[in-house]
Amino acid sequence: MNNLTAIVLAGGQSSRMGQDKALITVQGVPLLQFVCNIAASCADTVYIVTPWPERYQHLVLPRCQFIPEAGTQGPLIGFAQGLAEVKSEWVLLLACDLPKLRVEVLQEWAANLDSVPEEAIATLPHHAKGWEPLCGFYRRRCLPPLLEFINQGGRSFQQWLQHHSVQVLSLPTPEILFNCNTPEDLAVIQE
């Protein structure tokens, strides 16, 4: 398992969806539970960062612990709160709205973490819009520069990552990064 910790972010407002994305069922399973099950098959410990732990406590979430997020201040701050609890060198960061995530892809990525250059703070998929920060791996030691960026008012993963060495993860199929953000997205995955 490479002594790996996972952080799943479940703090979004789901305003475009009109209902809590984390509780939308895909193949009969709530999205948060689906993503956490995949995370638990890759990592020793899974932290769920959310302002609403009580909303999700009824879900079956093996090896998962809640980290209460202080308000909904965005994914970068949620990640920093989760990262402060991590003891392993590497952390897998996932959004809770990835219905096409595949465990074998994450396990293959995790198996190659030892070959990531020492100067890289993360290894992430890259696409036309930039890095995919909510489906990849970060070194725990990125926390001090992350906190410095946040304390200076930074809130964008893309802006923060521009200032650091990041290794590109090969993406066998772009669909695993599909985010379920709108009712139209939901219709696509429920076909």
pLDDT in the model for residue 119 = 97
Q: How far apart are CA 97 and CA 157, in angstroms?
A: 17
Q: In angstroms, how far is CA 8 from the centroid of its own chain?
A: 5
Q: What is the CATH architecture of 4-189?
A: Alpha-Beta Complex (3.90)
Q: How far apart are CA 42 and CA 108, in angstroms?
A: 10
Domain boundaries, the chain: 4-189
How many CB atoms within 10 Å of residue 64? 20
pLDDT in the model for residue 151 = 96
Q: How far apart are CA 179 and CA 73, in angstroms?
A: 19
Interhelix angle 143-151/75-83, nearest 10 degrees: 140
Q: What tens-digit pLDDT sequence spans the chain (191 residues)?
A: 448 999 999 987 767 777 788 888 888 899 999 999 999 999 999 999 999 999 999 998 888 999 999 876 889 999 999 999 999 999 999 999 999 999 999 999 999 999 999 999 999 999 888 899 999 999 999 999 999 999 999 999 999 999 999 999 998 887 888 777 776 777 777 66
Pairing type for strands 45-50 and 4-9 reads parallel
Q: How far apart are CA 184 and CA 93, in angstroms?
A: 25
pLDDT in the model for residue 27 = 82
Dump pLDDT digits (tens) for 132-172.
999 999 999 999 999 999 999 999 999 999 999 999 999 88
Q: Which residue type, as a one-letter code, is found at position 117?
A: P
Which residues have a Cβ under 8 Å from the Cβ of 24 and sit 6 or more positions away? 17, 30, 31, 180, 186
